[in-house]
Amino acid sequence: MKNFRVLLCAFLVIAFSSKINAQFDQLKNMGKQVQDKAKLGLIESVTSQLGVTKNQAVGGVGSILGLAKEKMPASDFLKVANAIPGSSDLITSALGLTGSKSTISTVAALAPLFLKLGMKSDMVSKFIPVVLSYVGASGGNTTMNLLSAVLKK
């Protein structure tokens, strides 16, 4: 009888742990989908508001984030990066799309990258408010102001 109870307990533990693991995996997948959707939210905003392609949006936003990463203290950039899910992926994608091998140190340095993406250089000034608005909505005004200060220089 004692062995039966032990076996029953072991069976219940295995059964419940499988169910818990399945639920955990489901939650992880939901979290990734939310992150992907949030990342696409900014890209979709840029494409719909500015009439650019997805690659142009990714390249432009990633280039802006690359500038911010270069110019901001790491702790401040972390706040911006947290407001934009997938920000490191966007920066990496921008480097690939623009073929840029150097760091971006000024807003003016963004113009040639936008040209490589098939956009006019004046699109930089159109991207910035969309990115700032998104960061403000997802990361708050303080984070938006940190980013804005870097993009004004």
pLDDT band at 27 (very low <50, low <70, confident <90, very high): very low
Sign of CA dihedral 53, 119, 35, 131: negative
Cβ atoms within 10 A of the Cβ of 62, count? 28
pLDDT band at 13 (very low <50, low <70, confident <90, very high): low
Structural domain of residue 36, as residue ranges? 2-151
Asked if the model's pLDDT at residue 42 lies above 80, the reply is yes
pLDDT, average across residues 123-151: 96
> DSSP code of 7?
H
pLDDT, average across residues 100-124: 91
Asked if the model's pLDDT at residue 125 lies above 50, the reply is yes
Q: Are 126 and 87 in contact (CB under 8 A)?
A: no
Could you give the C-alpha distances from 146 to 8, 50, 70, 151, in angstroms and in order? 59, 24, 13, 9
Q: Give pLDDT, residue 73.
A: 97
Q: Give pLDDT, residue 99.
A: 85
Q: Average pLDDT of the chain?
A: 83
| pTM metric for this prediction | 0.74
CA dihedral 56→123→49→59, nearest 10 degrees, is: 20
pLDDT band at 23 (very low <50, low <70, confident <90, very high): low
Q: Give pLDDT, residue 110.
A: 94
**What is the per-residue burial (b if ≥16 Cβ within 10 Å, else e) of 77-108?**
bebbbebbbbbeebbebbbebbebeeebeebe
pLDDT, average across residues 37-64: 89
How many independent structural domains does the chain possess?
A: 1
- What CATH number is attached to the domain comprising 55? 1.10.490
